[in-house]
Structure 1
Amino acid sequence: MPRVVFLVGAVVVVVALIAAIAVVGNLVSSLFQTLAARPPAVDTRIVAPDESKAAKAAGDASATPEESAAATWLAAQPTTYWLTPEIDPVDEVWDRVAHLASEARDQDAALSVAVYGLPDRDCGNHSAGGLDPDAYRDWTSRIGDALRNAPDVQKIVILEPDSIALSSSCGSQGDRASYLRTAVENIRGTNTWIYLDGGHSAWHPVDEMASLISATGLIGDVRGVALNVSNYQDTAAEFAYAHALSERLGGTHAVIDTSRNGAGPAGSEWCNPAGRLVGPAGGSFGDGVVDTTLWIKPPGESDGECNGGPPAGTWWPAAAVELTRESR
């Protein structure tokens, strides 16, 4: 009997040692991943998603040769993927993010997503929609779970474009700040760099925009702000705006959307202005405040039903052809 007790005790000790080694191994792995995490910088390359609207348009047999060429060229460009509840609902969004993370590994790239499902999104304008508060909590929780499931991948999250810049005109600053806090809490994790909406240089004066951002109470919980998302402002103007915001917000960082600013702005027109061009590739520029430039708004997708465009977010072949006329 004592020998049996000894053997059982020995097995228990061995099992405990194995468990302890596993725990230590997990801690070491987690620590290594945390130490290896680096924020986006110049030369950051993000995923070119294989299920983007450009990629789907490239396979459209009814497209003209010029439309097909534009879509094929755009499909190959590293571009942020927009997570919306309309396309990636709560029961599908985890799989979408996991697929994008797998692509990032295959392409040796970072993953960049725009989270765009805020309650009362766009205040009833061209991109109206979004989720109710409870559904938004669940949806962003699924997104965060999927992002944390890929600790080895650098993740860039553009959180709710236009949400803060529109908050004063929508009359919903407090509610929006609460939703954004929920999203940040749900999404943040190892090697995940979150950027809040920061508008752009031709929208709010810098002091006003800084006040709107500061009022969310989130500036210490995120990497920084995303500027020029879905807009056309010159890169130099956005760099100056980023530096001015950083001075007022305690040194926060920024990313700048250059996907469609190759010809600069068209005055105050923001909805499908004519004559625009794609801008410099993501990862082209950065400094001590601007982490990097990125393609955030996918070129070829409409801003809304204006200037001949289809509904917001719909693939528009004519726009794709025009935007890429000097690049492909």
Structure 2
Amino acid sequence: MPSGHHNGGRTRRRPVLHRLRALAAVAALGATSLLPVATASASAAPAEASTPAARVDNPYAGAGVYVNPEWAANAAAEPGGSAVAGQPTAVWLDRIAAINGTAGHLGLRGHLDNAVRQAAGKPFVVQLVVYDLPGRDCAALASNGELGPTEIGRYRTEFIDPIAAVLADPAYAGLRIVTTVEIDSLPNLVTNAGGTATATPQCDTMKANGNYVNGVGYALAKLGAVPNVYNYVDAGHHGWLGWDSNLGPAVDVLHQAATAAGSTTANVHGFIVNTANYSALKEPYYTIDDSVNGTSVRQSAWVDWNRYVDELSYAQAFRQKAVSAGFDPAVGMLIDTSRNGWGGAARPTGPGARTSVDSYVDGGRTDRRFQTGNWCNQSGAGLGERPRTAPEPGIDAYVWVKPPGESDGASQYIPNDEGKGFDRMCDPTYTGNARNNFHLSGALPGAPLAGAWFSAQFQELLKNAYPPVTGGGTGDTTPPSTPAGLRATATTAATVSLAWTASTDNVGVTGYDVYRNGTAVGSTTGAGGTTYTDGGLTASTAYRYTVVARDAAGNASTASAALTVTTAAGSGGGSSGCTATYRVGSDWGSGFNADVTVTNTGTAAATHWKVTWTWGGTQQVSNLWNGVLAQSGPSVTVTNAPYNGALAAGASTAFGFGAGYSGGNTAPTLSCTTS
């Protein structure tokens, strides 16, 4: 099913001077590659009723994910495309006709029946994009929809109600159905309506009549009533909403929609950022806290006073902002990494020259667009991180919501019956508008209508993939060797420390995923990441562990031989105590981000915890989240925040921090106490 792409990159430029604030983040989670699944063709026979799926915190955890056979066939038909054709992508419901299917494309039931067969009785996610609001995509033309600005009644009765009825069919009760709800709509009300410099008449209309807010609220309420549906609401991207003047109002509008038309915030399982967009996941060679000759990178033309330089930092900050605004503290984030790899020969290999702040940022940034407001069929873009579960704190998964190779919009006007117009931002000769600060559009030539297969774009994405697809598009499909020698190196009542022998691979191992009793619980990074400590366990309990290696081409090894480990007996008598496990998430040579997991290893509940350490080098914590920091020289003390001090026996929480250093960055030895 083709996906009618949204505008995704519109930006309201609001350079406002503000004090730098700490990067927000959340409690640490493990990471695992999403399990590859063989595709299956559609059948006219409906699926049989399946066992209802238990509600879970992260729907992707321990689950396979649906591979759309239509997209997989398109990808596999491209030279080198077979290397990625097995990746899961979302199914787009972008018009009423898509529910029952159109010529050559499955309907919703066809995809769900396929998903039941692919699941084969195991936990399984199917990803849907719900995208047909009245007056859709009010600030662009390429993916305008079929419903006029006032047709909220048709949206409810002809679009949302039929979708909800299909999803509620008992045949699909065993699936975990993840919905991406109405991309672009609510962010447009913040930046492109209400008298702003980038306002459009259509967006002004949609803000005035309330049909975006009420339409999203109705969709959340109706879909959220289905027990196995997990709603994730679109939250733009950092190059759109990362300014102080945009982020707070955006969260407020999302909260307004989540409590409109009979909905409550309980219907929002999470948020998704960078949907169908190109913003880099992580900028490795500069951070928002860097400066050049005393000038902050925020003053560079590229950053332009934004608070964020990449999607990961934006997503983590957005999550904290949403929780503060009244959303569930357990709310999760998804990041669309389908087209934000920015690899290939032009990818920088280090920071830019420090002759000026602009040369430093422009020379080191991996995102090579002319401007962050550019969103249509971008030249030089590449496939990003392959879909995987819980890769970073607060992130439920990296996902491919926009199927790579499906056009964002036509390079010139093409008559059609789908309501899709011609947007000059898809024309490579266009010199821009206020929403991209009058830069060239950066679009590829020769593009078809939004959602149609665009072979040249797919080849561009394959060539510039990061992590790379080996062989310049020929594809590497050889998995790493199976990890061997899995063993326990230490156990306590609440932790098991594991080690194993490194795997070999022709393109390089990028890390390992650890499974406990068949469910992914964490990961390590790099070929040498062959140790892992699993925490939050129950005393005197047997746990079964396996390990899977993954490589730079996105392949996963077979699981290691299983190892069963029994934790030590508890000390009894309501004892207290805790452990603190330290992990560096990223290190760029002059600074790093780290996470610390605190586990109550006693047999009594704790109300407070404290972690202390002394740096062995020049490290200094610059900002910290989910805890209270006190530091004096190399000595650091972190105590619990008001909301995460209470820990049941065996329970865990986490805090994180950013720090700078010069010279070495040896991990400290942590001490932990509870009371």
TM-score of the two chains, using structure 1 as the length reference:
0.79
Cross-structure match for 1:255: 334
Cα distance, 1:160 vs structure 2: 0.9
Q: Which moved more, 1:150-159 or 1:118-127?
A: 118-127
Q: 1:298 aligns with which of 391, 403, 428?
A: 403
2:256 is equivalent to residue 240 of structure 1: no
The residue number in structure 2 matching 1:165 is: 187
Q: Which amino acid aligns with 1:289?
A: G
Q: Which residue of 1 aligns with 2:162?
A: 142
Contact between 1:44 and 1:292, CA under 8 Å: does it hold in 2?
Answer: no
The answer as to whether partners of 2:311 and 2:335 remain within 8 angstroms in 1 is: yes
1:302 partner letter: S
Q: Counterpart of 1:245 in 2: which secondary structure?
A: helix
CA contact (8 A) 1:49 1:75 kept: no
Q: Aligned residue pairs: how many?
A: 288
| Structure holding more helix per residue | 1
Residue equivalent to 1:46 = 65
What is the identity, as a one-letter code, of the residue corresponding to 1:239? L
Q: Which residue of 1 aligns with 2:231?
A: 194
Alignment partner, residue 130 of structure 1: 146
Aligned to 2:136: 121
Whose RCO is larger (CA < 8 A, sep 6+)? 1
Q: Secondary structure at the match of 1:299?
A: coil
- Could you say which residue in structure 2 is the equivalent of 1:317? 455
Structure-1 residue corresponding to 2:664: none
Kept in 1, the 8 Å contact 2:98–2:108? The answer is: no
Q: How far did 1:44 drift?
A: 4.6
Distance 2:256 2:391 in 1: 27
Match of 2:220 in 1: 184
* Matches for 1:26-175 after TM superposition, within 5 Å: 33=52, 35=54, 37-41=56-60, 44-52=63-71, 55-56=73-74, 67-70=78-81, 72-85=82-95, 88-89=98-99, 91-92=100-101, 96-108=107-119, 109-123=124-138, 124-131=140-147, 132-138=151-157, 139-149=159-169, 150-168=172-190, 169=192, 170-171=203-204, 172-173=206-207, 174-175=210-211
RMSD: 2.6
Judging changes above 3 Å, is the alpha-carbon distance between structure 1 residues 137 and 319 closer, same or farther for their aligned structure 2 residues? same
Cα distance, 1:207 vs. partner?
2.1
8 A Cα contact 1:201 1:233, kept in partner: yes
**How far, CA to CA, are the matches of 1:247 and 1:273 in structure 2?**
31
Q: Whose strand proportion is higher, 1 or 2? A: 2
Alignment gaps of 5+ in structure 1: 1-28, 60-66
What's the offset of the Cα at 1:80? 0.6
Aligned-pair identity (%): 28
After superposition, what is the alpha-carbon deviation per residue over 1:107-153, rounded to whole angstroms, capped at 9, x for unaligned?
22310010111111111521011333222112111111111211110
Could you report, residue by residue, the CA deviation over 1:48-90 in whole angstroms, capped at 9, with x for unpaired residues? 11233x525756xxxxxxx3543x555432101111216515x
Aligned-pair distance for 1:257?
0.3
Q: Are the aligned partners of 1:38 and 1:191 in contact in 2 as well (CA < 8 Å)?
A: no
Secondary structure at the residue paired with 2:92?
strand
Please give the alpha-carbon distance, in whole angstroms, between the structure 1 residues aligned to 2:255 and 2:395: 18
Preserved contact between residue 75 and residue 84 of structure 2 (Cα < 8 Å): no
Distance 1:321 1:249 in 2: 37
TM-score (norm 2): 0.40
Question: For 2:314 and 2:75, how far apart are their aligned partners in 1?
Answer: 35
Pair 220,86 (structure 1): closer, same or farther in 2 beyond 3 Å: closer
- Structure 1 segment 215-294 matched on structure 2, within 5 A: 215-218=256-259, 219-236=265-282, 237-250=310-323, 251=329, 252-263=331-342, 265=367, 266=369, 267-268=371-372, 269-294=374-399
The separation in 2 between residues aligned to 1:210 and 1:36, in whole angstroms, is 26
Q: Report if the CA contact (8 A) 2:134-2:211 is conserved.
A: no
Deviations 1:163-200 (A, max 9, x none): 11112311223220101111112222112110111001
The DSSP-based 3-state class of the residue aligned with 2:238 is coil
Question: Secondary structure of the equivalent of 2:272?
Answer: strand
Shift of 1:35: 3.7
Deviations 1:200-224 (A, max 9, x none): 1110133232223223234442111
Residue 111 of structure 1: SS of its match in structure 2? strand
Q: Which ranges of structure 2 fall in alignment gaps of 5 or more residues?
A: 1-48, 193-202, 260-264, 283-309, 324-328, 343-365, 411-425, 427-442, 470-474, 476-675
1:21 is aligned to: none
Partner of 2:616: none
Distance 1:77 1:97 in 2: 19
CA contact under 8 A between 2:184 and 2:236: conserved in structure 1? yes
